[in-house]
């Protein structure tokens, strides 16, 4: 193959892997739009929107002060002001610098218009100019550009567009165009995305078994190489080399020589152990990483923290039931910091880590022996540490910890581990450890919240992930109780309903149904976007427990691209969720068959009397630096393979094979955001390459 052909393949692979990043419905404060119980009287955004009645009133006051005499212009300006209420206002007002005061107005030259409904194909910016150019607008919102540059007024005391802007072209250059990620613009009406035909379900998911070990968590090496860290529940972390796709090789991992062994500190039992690991975004420079685990204060002196059942949350530890002979808060959840510095000249070269804690980040006593989540992740956009915590256990969350804003149980927390708090901060904010609070955490707006809380109303989040192509999609699977397992899109300050709701269904707790009934009207729950009923996997509504996964972004199985994968821990069933329309936050789900490739590096066992692989328990999913997806099961480590290896039909597979990138061996360069036009370029390059080689 010539160098020019090789260059085309590399470029094509790059373009295919960096698709446009469409955002889901979000408000300008990064919160999810919610249904308002009181209708808005000024802005035409009733139902689910980003405005409260108070916001609506403020917008009316702003509009009235403009004193616009022309009715046509007034109607347009009102619609522009009210765009702050749109479900997609985060997109409409998106900016890389100062916050915009007005939405991006659809322009005939805007490529983003094609992602909206046909109503957006008119040139709304020109319509505004034509209608309002000679109309007086007091305190005009058009006196400053969306791009942060104020115009040079043509006349003093400017109130008209023609006073402020030299021409329509200047005006639309300032206010028209694409939003920050190329997805939506404002056309005078609420944004409606194109209704796209749902993709046909994939033929099936093909797996290859590459390891025999049973692991609970996996983290790609931060240096971008073909290595990853695997952990088991007992408390060990291993550094493994991942074989190339289709190489026929196994996972290279030395069981006898772990990267770190914390088994002396970790309390291991059915629902206890090492729950997660997270590597600092700058690990290759600073060697910092974090482990989340459970400990027993009866057997380890280092296991000492405040009980989560305390007077602040109206809970008396002495009244907790004796759970299997344990004492109240005998078991603790811990986040500890470790380092690979000192074990190699460069942290990325380290084969082991120092066993001593560098810093204790967080410790909290657990009221019961279940539902304590424990996964930790660094946010790809903000660099903060997210900590997933369950409701603490007990049937029906008996103390209603999940809805208690002063409790950290049943929450997702967001911590800054790059700063050290002062003694005054710890006391003032009631911190549980050695971290600080990001300045935009929800407690800034809701003073009742504990400052660590990012979201509330979770039962037991089990495996969350950020979409590598669209970081605003923070997906969490939350285990149900009696009927429903759910997948949620996590947003700032969101309340996901438990214990008032299980999924979309009202939940009646066994001990305090009256309290639950009284709370129904006090919350705005965010309902799941995907999930399944227990009866879907067990006719008797018996054992079911969801395992969250990833949006599939690898080119290995192109027919799975863009779908969110998740599974049931016990049933060995898997689902794929497809968003339609793209960017809407609305998903269609399909249970997908799966099989094991006949030429798998390690032979797969099958359920007796069937052709279904016997995976055992599906503990977690994992993702490597090439975006290939893994299943961590009790029977071993499995990787998603090419569909044809299991005789599944995928029409896209042959075209994608020639563009499959080689496994990463060095840290990747910074990603570049591409718009939809690059997809067309990719297709042209593919066609060109095929002509060259044919």
Q: What is the dihedral angle through the alpha carbons of 91, 92, 95, 99, rounded to the nearest 10 degrees?
A: -120
17-68, pLDDT tens digit by residue? 434 445 689 999 889 999 888 899 999 998 899 999 999 999 999 999 999 9
Please, which pLDDT band fits residue 202 given cuts at 50, 70 and 90?
confident
- Helix or strand or coil: residue 347? helix
C-beta of residue 373 within 8 angstroms of C-beta of residue 349: no
**What pLDDT is recorded for position 12?**
37
418-442, pLDDT tens digit by residue? 999 999 999 999 999 999 999 999 9
Alpha-carbon gap, residue 308 to 298, rounded angstroms: 17
283-324, pLDDT tens digit by residue? 999 999 999 999 999 999 999 999 999 999 999 998 887 766
**What pLDDT is recorded for position 150?**
60
Q: Across the chain, what does the average pLDDT equal?
A: 87
**What pLDDT is recorded for position 13?**
41
**Which of 50, 44, 43 shows the shortest CA–CA distance to 27?**
50
185-197 mean pLDDT = 83
* Tokens (6 digits) for 319: 């009244």
Label the pairing between strands 48-49 and 205-211: unpaired
The share of the chain scoring above pLDDT 70, in percent, equals: 84
User: Does the pLDDT at position 223 exceed 90?
Assistant: yes
324-352, pLDDT tens digit by residue? 677 889 999 999 999 997 766 789 999 99
| Phi, psi at 231, each rounded to 5° | -125, 150
135-141 mean pLDDT = 94
**What pLDDT is recorded for position 675?**
32
Alpha-carbon gap, residue 375 to 622, rounded angstroms: 13
C-beta of residue 563 within 8 angstroms of C-beta of residue 552: yes
Helix 71-81 to helix 124-132 angle, to the nearest 10 degrees?
Answer: 140
89-117 mean pLDDT = 69
CB-CB neighbours of 646 under 10 Å = 21
Per-residue exposure over 591-625, b if at least 16 CB sit within 10 Å of its own CB, e if not:
ebbbbbbeebbbebeeeeeeeebebebbbbbbbbb
Which of 150-159, 370-379, 567-576 has the weakest average pLDDT?
150-159
| Alpha carbon of residue 525 to chain centroid | 18
The share of the chain scoring above pLDDT 90, in percent, equals: 71
* Tokens (6 digits) for 139: 């305190």
- Helix or strand or coil: residue 604? coil
**What pLDDT is recorded for position 183?**
61
């Amino acid at each position: 193959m010539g160098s020019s052909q090789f260059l085309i393949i590399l470029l094509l692979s790059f373009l295919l892997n960096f698709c446009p990043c469409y955002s889901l419905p979000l408000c300008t404060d990064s919160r999810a739009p919610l249904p308002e119980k009181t209708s808005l009287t000024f802005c035409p955004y009733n139902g689910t929107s980003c405005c409260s009645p108070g916001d609506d009133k403020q917008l009316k006051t702003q509009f009235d002060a403009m004193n616009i005499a022309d009715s046509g212009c007034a109607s347009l300006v009102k619609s522009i002001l009210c765009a702050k209420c749109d479900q997609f206002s985060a997109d409409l007002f998106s900016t890389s610098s100062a916050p915009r005061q007005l939405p991006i107005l659809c322009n005939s030259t805007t490529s983003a218009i094609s992602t909206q409904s046909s109503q957006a194909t008119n040139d709304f910016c020109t319509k505004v100019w034509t209608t309002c150019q000679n109309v007086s607008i007091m305190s005009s919102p058009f006196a400053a550009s969306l791009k942060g540059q104020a115009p040079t007024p043509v006349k003093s005391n400017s109130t008209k567009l023609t006073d402020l802007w030299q021409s329509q072209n200047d005006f639309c250059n300032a206010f028209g165009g694409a939003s920050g990620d190329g997805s939506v613009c404002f056309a005078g009406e609420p944004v409606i995305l194109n209704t796209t035909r749902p993709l046909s379900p994939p033929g099936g998911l093909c797996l290859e078994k590459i390891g025999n070990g049973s692991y609970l968590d996996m983290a790609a090496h931060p240096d971008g190489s073909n290595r990853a860290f695997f952990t088991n529940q007992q408390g060990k972390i291993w550094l493994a080399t991942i074989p190339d796709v289709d190489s026929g090789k196994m996972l290279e991992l030395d069981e006898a020589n772990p990267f770190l062994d914390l088994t002396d500190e970790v309390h291991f039992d059915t629902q206890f152990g090492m729950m997660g690991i997270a590597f600092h975004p700058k690990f290759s420079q600073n060697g910092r990483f974090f482990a989340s685990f459970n400990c027993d204060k009866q057997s380890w002196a280092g296991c000492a923290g405040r009980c989560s059942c305390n007077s602040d949350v109206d809970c008396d530890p002495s009244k907790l039931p004796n759970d299997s002979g344990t004492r109240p808060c005998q078991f603790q959840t811990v986040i500890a910091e470790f380092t690979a510095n000192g074990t190699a000249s460069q942290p990325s070269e380290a084969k082991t880590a120092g066993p001593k804690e560098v810093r204790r980040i967080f410790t909290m006593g657990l009221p019961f022996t279940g539902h304590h989540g424990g996964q930790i992740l660094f946010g790809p956009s903000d660099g903060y540490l997210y900590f997933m915590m369950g409701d603490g256990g007990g049937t029906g969350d008996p103390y209603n910890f999940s809805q208690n804003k002063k409790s950290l149980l049943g929450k997702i927390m967001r911590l800054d581990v790059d700063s050290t708090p002062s003694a005054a901060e710890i006391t003032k904010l009631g911190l549980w450890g050695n971290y600080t609070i990001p300045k935009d955490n929800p407690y800034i707006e809701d003073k009742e919240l504990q400052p660590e809380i990012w979201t509330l109303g979770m039962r037991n989040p089990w495996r969350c992930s950020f979409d590598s192509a669209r970081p605003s999609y923070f997906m969490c699977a939350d285990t149900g109780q009696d009927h429903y397992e759910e997948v949620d899109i996590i947003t700032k300050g969101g309340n996901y309903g438990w214990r008032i709701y299980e999924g979309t269904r009202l939940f009646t707790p066994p001990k305090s149904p009256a309290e639950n009934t009284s709370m129904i009207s006090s919350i705005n729950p965010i309902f799941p976007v995907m999930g399944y009923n227990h009866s879907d996997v067990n006719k008797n509504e018996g054992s079911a427990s969801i395992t969250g996964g990833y949006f599939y972004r690898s080119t290995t199985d192109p027919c799975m691209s863009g779908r969110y994968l998740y599974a049931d821990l016990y049933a060995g069933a898997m689902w794929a969720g497809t968003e339609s329309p793209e960017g809407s936050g609305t998903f269609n789900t399909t249970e997908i068959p799966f099989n094991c490739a006949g030429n798998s590096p390690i032979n797969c066992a099958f359920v007796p009397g069937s052709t279904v692989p016997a995976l055992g328990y599906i503990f977690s999913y994992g993702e490597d630096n090439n975006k290939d997806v893994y299943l961590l099961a009790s029977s071993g480590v499995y990787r998603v393979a090419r569909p044809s290896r299991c005789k599944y039909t995928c029409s896209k597979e042959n075209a994608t094979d020639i563009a499959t990138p080689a496994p990463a061996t060095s840290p990747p360069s910074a990603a570049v955001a591409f718009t939809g036009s690059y997809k067309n370029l990719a297709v042209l390059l593919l066609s060109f390459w095929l002509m060259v080689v044919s």
